[in-house]
Amino acid sequence: MDATTPGLLTSDVLERADVRAALVEHDFAAAFALIKKWGGLSQNRIASACQLTPGKVSTIISGAQRVTSFDVVCRIADGLRIPGALLGLAPRPWEVARNTTQQARSDVRGAWPDPDEIPWRPDTTVDLATHLTRSDLVMDRRALTRALAGVAVSGPALLDSLEGWLIPAATVSEPRRPGRLGMREVEELETTARAFRQWDHQYGGGLRRKAVLGQLSEVSGALDDHQASAVRDRLYRVMAQLAGTAATMAWDIGLHQRAQDYYRLALRAAHAGGDLAFGANVLAGMARQMLYRDRADDALQLIHLAQEGAREVIGPRARAMLHTREAWAYAAQGRVAGFHRATGKAAEDLADAGTDVDEPYWIAYFDEAELAGVTGGRLLDLARADPGRHAAQAADEIRTALERRGAEAGRSHALDRIGLAECQFLAGDLRAAAAETTLAVDRGTWCVASRARSAR
């Protein structure tokens, strides 16, 4: 076949989410079965196009044999005219001849744009949401297993891709289709996004994740239409909140790379909707992910990016939260003085915070109990290296957190109980450590932890 030969698969087959997911995962058993079903190709036709024997195709479809050879993957791509990007390949020679290279590149890993694309385009953000939710909603157990191996991006590759956060969004032409969403529907979506966020805060990821992705897909579909400007901006804000929840839920079940994808989508959506305060919150979430991945330098850069981009709009409660993430990074770097300085700033900002109505609902959780719990957790990190200096203070902070928030805090309460037992152990008081551990079990901490669908 030469570059002008038409492909065996029509564009509607290649656009199917199940076909694309199978190809991206190199699940050729599923891909060939779907191509037979939706493309109308027999096993003999597939075999002939890919320079395979019919018997080989049969064993692949049955799952008895997997395709691992690079040459065979290339033959499948060229024979069926599958864009290289869908199979993790460079654009094939026939793609260049047919001027499809740019489209093929947009299919890679949820269609993330080139990091150099500045300013950010709101319509690209909608495309990202569509591709991500499509691929995730059809992800089967085999694809999930492979996705668990994905590693979050870090260093310049991550930080450079976020520079658009500091620059106003690009102006793009409006879609042709008229949108008919009203404020009442938007308010219902906002209520749903808020409920999903509460689910995640209390229970972590798990079965509810698919519900969040389905709602996110609906919002991206609505943004494909030409909505009134006020409706459009609020829809982007809903998208940001749903994507942020999807990120933490993905992280909870060990999908670190996918979590980062949703964090980046949330940041772009907040940017498109003019919600810089929530964007700063998303960057704080990304920083926390980097801290769990032992990338303290990256985390600090992300916090500084959040502070720079939202300095004029965030309230004292959100500023306090950002300072605690900054303190966490300093603690991870072993910078004890920097940790205490940032923690002190967090306490000062929190003291200036007013009522919950003065700031967005999503930051209402950050109160004196949360500050004590976060501070105690980071002092516990320091105590593991120098228990004599930090263990007692860590225990005091964690006790304060336990006194001010009960078991209804779910995951946080469970971690506080376990942390306090560890503080006593590090301080050398084994009797107290055993007593705290027994208390944790007797008060149902493990029950609380088991209900939280969180790998953390």
Exposure class string for 1-14: b at 16+ Cβ within 10 A, else e: eeeeeebbbeeebb
Joined tokens for residue 357: 């109505």
Q: Read off the DSSP letter of residue 202.
A: H
Question: How would you write the pLDDT of the chain (456 residues) with one tens digit per residue?
Answer: 443 344 578 777 888 888 888 888 788 999 999 999 888 888 899 999 999 998 899 999 988 888 878 888 889 998 998 988 888 777 888 876 554 434 433 444 444 444 457 789 898 899 888 888 887 876 655 566 666 656 778 888 888 889 999 999 888 776 557 777 889 999 999 998 998 888 776 665 555 788 898 899 999 989 988 888 899 999 999 999 999 999 999 888 888 888 999 999 999 999 999 999 999 999 999 999 999 999 999 999 999 999 999 999 999 999 999 999 999 999 999 999 999 999 999 999 999 987 766 789 999 989 999 999 999 999 999 999 999 999 999 999 999 998 888 655 566 777 888 899 999 999 888 898 888 888 777 655 555 555 555 555
Cα atoms in the 13 Å half-sphere on the side-chain side of 139: 21
In this predicted structure, what is the pLDDT of residue 97? 58
In this predicted structure, what is the pLDDT of residue 283? 98
In this predicted structure, what is the pLDDT of residue 406? 61
The SS3 assignment for 453 reads strand
Alpha-carbon gap, residue 327 to 86, rounded angstroms: 42
The SS3 assignment for 178 reads strand
Taking the alpha carbons at both ends of the chain, their separation in whole angstroms is: 51
Phi-psi category of residue 294: left, alpha or beta, with phi > 0 → left and psi -120 to 50 → alpha: left
Angle of CA points 304, 346, 277, to nearest 5°: 50
CA–CA distances in Å: residue 222 to residues 112, 185, 241, 287, 308 = 20, 11, 16, 30, 31
Exposure class string for 113-144: b at 16+ Cβ within 10 A, else e: bebeebebbbebbbbbbbbbbbbbeebeeebe
Q: Are 307 and 280 in contact (CB under 8 A)?
A: yes
Q: Are 452 and 413 in contact (CB under 8 A)?
A: no
Bond into 119 cis (ω within 30): yes
Which residues lie closer than 8 Å to 179 by C-beta, 6 or more apart? 222, 225, 226, 227, 228, 231
Please provide residue 110's backbone torsions phi and psi, each rounded to the nearest 5 degrees: 75, 15
Which amino acid would we find at residue 136? D
Alpha-carbon gap, residue 56 to 60, rounded angstroms: 6
Q: Are 216 and 129 in contact (CB under 8 A)?
A: yes
Alpha-carbon gap, residue 281 to 302, rounded angstroms: 11
Indicate the pTM of the whole model.
0.72
Which amino acid would we find at residue 63? G
Residues facing 453 on adjacent strands:
204
Residues facing 226 on adjacent strands:
178
E strands of 11-99, at which residues? none
Q: Are 323 and 342 in contact (CB under 8 A)?
A: yes
In this predicted structure, what is the pLDDT of residue 24? 81
Alpha-carbon gap, residue 371 to 309, rounded angstroms: 23
Which amino acid would we find at residue 423? C
Q: Are 266 and 243 in contact (CB under 8 A)?
A: yes
